[in-house]
Amino acid sequence: MSAFDRIWRARTDRRAFLLGGLALVGAGAFTRVQARPRWNASSPFSLGVASGDPMHDGVVLWTRLAPDPLNGGGMPPEPVEVRWEVADDEKMRQIVKRGRVTATAAWAHAVHVEVDGLKADRPYWYRFHAGEATSPIGRTRTLPKPGDEADRLRFAFASCQHYETGVFTAYRHLAAEDLDVVFHLGDYIYEGPGRDGQVRKHQGLEIMTLPDYRTRYAQYKLDPDLQQAHAAFPWIVTPDDHEVENNYAGDVSEQDDPREAFLARRAAAYQAYYEHMPLRRRSVPMGPAIQLYRRFTYGKLASFFVLDTRQFRSNQPCGDGLKAPCPGVSDPQATMLGAAQERWLFESLAKSKGQWNVLPQQVMVAKVDRGTGADERYSMDQWSGYDAGRTRLLEFFAARKPSNPVVLTGDIHSNWVNDLKVDFRSANAPAVATEFVGTSITSGGDGLDQAATMKDVLAENPFVKFQNSQRGYVSCTVTPKAWQADYQVVDYVTRPDAPKKTRASFRLTDGRPGAERL
């Protein structure tokens, strides 16, 4: 089947899905919710548990019933009752909250419980029951109250977990850390077809339809290290491109598919993303639209502004790839965030009381020139392809001086530490913010400490303080006075059990933009 046919099949399936959803609503009065479902040999909790989008008084608890995860889930079409419990202790002896929720076929029998009324800044444990089956126990944590002094925050950020190119050993190391929260910056799945000769193999062809996306999430979520990392901490997630399609921009697909067909595919992708992530009701998708940019407040210590740099993007002004900038990059209409998100970000930053103002997002902000000497070449899928929007952001930092801005980035399967400047080409221009780019969990395979070509890149771009292309994640310790970023790497992912190494550590000091190597 051609890619085009598959997209149109996706569109037809979407219609069938919508009709199915309506039919279910219509039949709701007559369809009994199964309160005592029977499971055969396999657990319905095969995909594990997760929690996310924490607040000071609550958190989202997630699971999905899927006794046969790689064959459509294996659930009957009827809604099924799921019971949930939250406890003060890891043995689940002191239950502090419990309730019931209905898992429906329209949402792949996923459940999202928004627990509230919890105490601030403390751990909780949770689990689910469906019929006789009980899920594994997950641990989560609430945030401190917005006005509270919070003296220390520990979090990690991760991205880019291509299933075929390696095993998720980095997540086992992440799960063993002592963290308050984890940020995922996108490429949670990859959309490509199964390929032979890799470490593992995607099931099926390139994913296009809602059932395809669901099966892909199920395949990733069967990984025990990923499940462990979800069960250990609450996660705050935002997708990048591969949750839909490589390097898409808004309603423009990589290969310029018909707009309507691409939006049908995007709707399927966003629905499956919501179904598999611990997101709040505000993020329930409406067709091809999903609300993902949002704020989190960690006491007075840190405010996080999670961005969505894919959904509202204008088309890449100079096309894709690594090239010399065309005049389009300076077009003020070219946008990475879209007008509404950009206004929200600037208004929120202007009002923020956070000591550290953190932007977890997807693609590199720093203007890294990949050409040698006078030759200038930039990655057009990153902020460098949207220079006018980047300049608005950096000038905002320079002029309005929000307290300690820090950008967290994924996407490029390598570690970087960058000073961000309004004028990157001037050696004397002051830094206005810092960018920590975290590498991939697996994408790119084993990787290299430093590729030979990187020597030139570092010489060309003196605002780059560190570069490394191994696999891993970044863990951060934040206090009112200082921020420490530890670049955690593994030497290989094509074989299991690589030990963790802290490859480099950087410090930011309150009131002084720019990173120092420790």
- Least distance to Fe ion, CB of residue 437, Å: 12
Q: Which residues bind Ca ion (CB under 5 A)?
A: 187, 240-241, 411
Residue 247 is classified by DSSP as T
- Concatenated DSSP letters for 176-223? TS--SEEEE-S-SS--PPP-TTSSS--SSSS--SHHHHHHHHHHHHT-
Residue closer to Ca ion by CB (options 212, 411) is 411
Q: Of these partners, Ca ion, Fe ion, none, which one is at the site of residue 443 (CB under 5 to 8 Å by kind)?
A: Fe ion
Smaller CB distance to Ca ion: residue 120 or 252?
252
Report in angstroms how near the CB of residue 24 gets to Ca ion at its nearest.
Answer: 35
The bridge status of strand 322-323 relative to strand 302-306 is: unpaired
CB-wise, 211 or 389, nearer to Ca ion? Answer: 389
Residue 241 touches which of Fe ion, Ca ion, none (CB < 5 to 8 A by kind)?
Ca ion
Judged by CB, which is closer to Fe ion: 170, or 433?
Answer: 170
CA torsion 249-251-256-259 (nearest 10°) is 180
To Ca ion, the closest distance from the beta carbon of 71 in angstroms equals 29
CB 239, min distance to Ca ion, A: 9
**Which residue's CB is nearer to Ca ion, number 245 or number 411?**
411
Q: How many whole angstroms separate alpha carbon 404 and alpha carbon 302?
A: 9
Residue 342 interacts with which of Fe ion, Ca ion, none, CB < 5 to 8 Å by class = none
DSSP-derived pairing of the beta strands 405-409 and 356-360: parallel
**Shortest distance in whole angstroms from residue 426 CB to Ca ion:** 29
CB of 413 to Ca ion, least distance (A): 8
Q: In this complex, which beta carbon is closest to Fe ion, that of residue 404 or of residue 443?
A: 443
- The distance of closest approach from Cβ of residue 240 to Ca ion in the complex, given in angstroms and rounded to an integer, is 4
Nearest residue (CB) to Fe ion, 355 versus 467: 467
Please spell the DSSP secondary structure of 5-64, one letter per residue: HHHHHHHHHHHHHHHHHHHHHHHTTTSPPBSS----SS-TTTT-EEEES--SS-EEEEEE
* List of residues 6+ apart from 231 with CB closer than 8 A: 48, 49, 50, 136, 137, 138, 139, 175
DSSP secondary structure letters along 490-513: ES-SSSS-PPEEEEEEEEEETTEE
- What sign does the dihedral 25-31-37-40 (CA atoms) show? negative
Pairing of β 356-360 and β 482-490: unpaired
Give the binding site for Fe ion (CB under 5 A): 160, 187, 443
Q: Which is nearer to Fe ion, 238 or 357 (CB)?
A: 238
Q: Give the integer Cα–Cα distance in Å for 36 and 517.
A: 58
Q: How far is the CB of 242 from Ca ion (least distance, A)?
A: 6
Single out the residue of 482, 403, 16 nearest to residue 209, CA to CA.
16
